[in-house]
Structure 1
């Protein structure tokens, strides 16, 4: 997982809680999850530009 071990993840989590507060963390997690899900969908589905370029060749 990106070369991060448990100590690094714990430090990142503690810093995030200190910066954003414990009430904001679930909202940030939800937003990050939606963003990653959308990114994965876009990577799976070829865009119209890609299809047009393949037709030209």
Structure 2
């Protein structure tokens, strides 16, 4: 479909986008889109690495009977962010609510 657009049609689309959003907001929108794409790509890589790590670890943990406490989880603002990481408090499931 895009291959069938004529140069005049492409120019009209660009003109309408400029009129709707303004020339000042377009670079910000493009920058935001680029950041989102980078975050998505890094998250996909991180998920793939986690899957590769957990597959052998799951097999090894099934063989051992001793239970080790889990390391505290952290939340990061974006992948690779170390300064903004903060610990997450896990709910205490040993207490019962009445």
Please, what TM-score do these two structures have when normalized by structure 2? 0.39
Give the structure with the larger strand fraction.
2
1:14 Cα deviation (Å)? Answer: 2.9
1-side partners of 2:34 and 2:40: how far apart? 10
Consecutive unaligned residues in structure 1, runs of 5 or more: none
Cα RMSD between the aligned structures?
Answer: 2.9
Q: TM-score, structure 1 length as denominator?
A: 0.60
Q: How many residues align?
A: 51
Q: What does 1:1-57 align with in structure 2 at a 5 Å threshold?
A: 4-5=2-3, 7=5, 10=10, 11=13, 13-46=14-47, 50=51, 54=55, 55=58
Q: Deviations over 1:20-42 (max 9, x none)?
A: 00010000000000000000000
Greater C-alpha radius of gyration: 2
Between Structure 1 and Structure 2, the one with more helix by share is 1
CA shift, 1:17, in A, is 1.1
